[in-house]
Structure 1
Amino acid sequence: MVSSPASTAELLQRCQALAGLTLAQLAALADIKVPANLQRDKGWVGQLLELVLGASAGSKAEPDFVNLGIELKTLPIDLNGKPLESTYVCVAPLTGVSGLQWHESWVCQKLRCVLWVPILAERQIPLAQRIVGTAFLWQPNAMQQQLLQQDWEELMEQITLGGIDSIRGSQGKVLQLRPKAANSKALTEAVGAAGEPIMTLPRGFYLKASFTADILQQQFAQP
């Protein structure tokens, strides 16, 4: 068990030591087996990094590095440094949400300070041979914060007004709401169009790939 990093500097040092390693090398450090693929182990890469870097929150509703207030997010990228998919943030609350403010939301807490770890993960690269990139810390600037808040407020308003089933992944400039369930039987409570209780698939908030592409661009653009 790796101890939690005592400071942000120590966390970044640990990240530096991992840059350039394959996931097989990382798994060997943690003494765990690499799955054949991620079909049944969707969060495996993130969990592996949490293990190796000493994240302590697990699945609790707090940042991964609790004492530092830092959330860990892996970011699969292609050879050109473009994100390959949207990034899962957290589960969306579907009941008892009226009156919930942006700054109290789990999305806002999770994205306050993020340690992004890019992973070279082109589809044709076997999982074990995918490579850890250069990690970096990110905090949303005023414009990004505004876009996130706007999308969150619009989506939450739709949920509150019983429009959960009409929300599409194409909505939102930077944040989207999508079903998040292991299978179609995993239903949860929500509010229907007439205010009645209904059962629906759990939903999750995701950052759109175009947004994370901008974050990468901002970080690695040539001066």
Structure 2
Amino acid sequence: MEKISPPQDLAELMSRANMMAGLTLAQIAAPHGQAVPADLKRDKGWVGQMIETELGANAGSKPQQDFLHLGVELKTIPIDGAGRPLETTYVCVAPLINIQGLSWEQSLVCHKLEKVLWVPVEGDRQLPIAARRVGTPILWQPDAREQALLRQDWEEIMELISLGKVEQISARHGEVLQLRPKAANSQALTQSIAEDGSIKLTNPRGFYLKTQFTARILARHFG
């Protein structure tokens, strides 16, 4: 599979993203010699990886923005027929130890969400994956209100983690940002802070954007 070089600047990135709009996933995959999976049960990240490949993203699974040289994170977002997001959006793994003194500005969540290229993709379960079309891309930066909401949720969740209450955090916590288990299965374990300040084992957690938040972003652009 031929590797596409990263876009030189923001204009080139947006040009590539706009050229994908209206194409099916089969049309995008074909030039890369990629077979489209029949379903996404085993290939959950396939759509995102295909879009990354087409746009020339080079971060892979590294904990940094997908287009670090442009300061842009790429997020594909499955939408229904009315243009509403069908699921929450994964942001990054949550740190569960060595978090003393970590501020919102230094956090990976803040870094990842500084500037996001949203690429909507049809996600209706009835549509074969090959036939699903890519929508018009959106380049988004959180405004002051969105930034404040994200920061507030992040700080509240991180405070609970630092107090050893990670097990008590549910997906209902947070107005726009939530913490959920993030692992292939429940056997995966990582270190976290216990209530007495010692270290215990728990399932890895990830930060996710709630659908109401991403729905507002899409609605504002496609209104």
TM-score range, shorter chain: over 0.9
* 2:177 is aligned with 1:193: no
Task: Note the 1:1-150 alignment, pairs <5 A.
Answer: 1-150=3-152
Alignment of 1:159-198 (within 5 A): 159-198=161-200
Residue 29 of structure 1 deviates from its aligned partner by 2.2
Give 1:96 shift.
0.5
Q: Give % identity.
A: 58
> Matched residue of 1:214: which SS?
helix
Q: How many residues align?
A: 221
Q: Secondary structure at the match of 1:6?
A: coil
CA apart distance, 1:59: 1.1
Q: Which amino acid aligns with 2:9?
A: S
Answer whether contact 1:19 1:133 (CA < 8 A) is retained: yes
Q: Under a length normalisation based on structure 1, what TM-score does the superposition of the two structures give?
A: 0.97
Aligned residues of 1:24 and 1:128 also touching (Cα < 8 A): yes
Q: What do the CA deviations read for 1:98-132 (whole angstroms, capped 9, x no partner)?
A: 11000000000000000000001111111111110
Deviation at 1:179, TM superposition (A): 0.2
Q: Does the Cα contact within 8 Å between 1:70 and 1:114 map onto a contact in 2?
A: yes
Q: Which amino acid aligns with 1:214?
A: R
What SS is found at the alignment partner of 1:131?
Answer: coil
Provide, for residues 2-56 of structure 1, a one-character-per-residue CA deviation record: whole Å limited to 9, x for no partner. Answer: 0110011111111111111111111112211111211111111111111010001
Stretch deviating more after TM superposition (52-61 or 134-143): 52-61
Q: Secondary structure at the match of 2:16?
A: helix
Q: What CA distance in whole angstroms lies between the structure 1 residues aligned with 2:114 and 2:32?
A: 28
- Residues 158-196 of structure 1 deviation map (CA, whole Å, 9 limit, x = unaligned): 000000000000110000000010011111010112222
Match for 1:59: what amino acid? S
Q: Is the 8 A contact 1:103 1:109 kept in 2?
A: yes
Amino acid at match of 1:120: E
Q: Residue 184 of structure 2 aligns to which amino acid in structure 1? A: A
User: Structure 1 unaligned runs (5+)?
Assistant: none
Deviation at residue 219 of structure 1 after TM alignment:
1.2
Distance in 2, Cα, partners of 1:181 & 1:59: 14
1:53-99, Cα deviation, whole Å (9 max, x unpaired): 00011111211012111000001000000100000000000001111
Q: TM-score, normalised to structure 2's length?
A: 0.97
State the alpha-carbon separation in 2 of the partners of residues 66 and 55 from structure 1. 9
Q: Distance in 1 between matches of 2:31 and 2:94?
A: 34
Q: State the SS of the aligned residue for 1:46.
A: helix
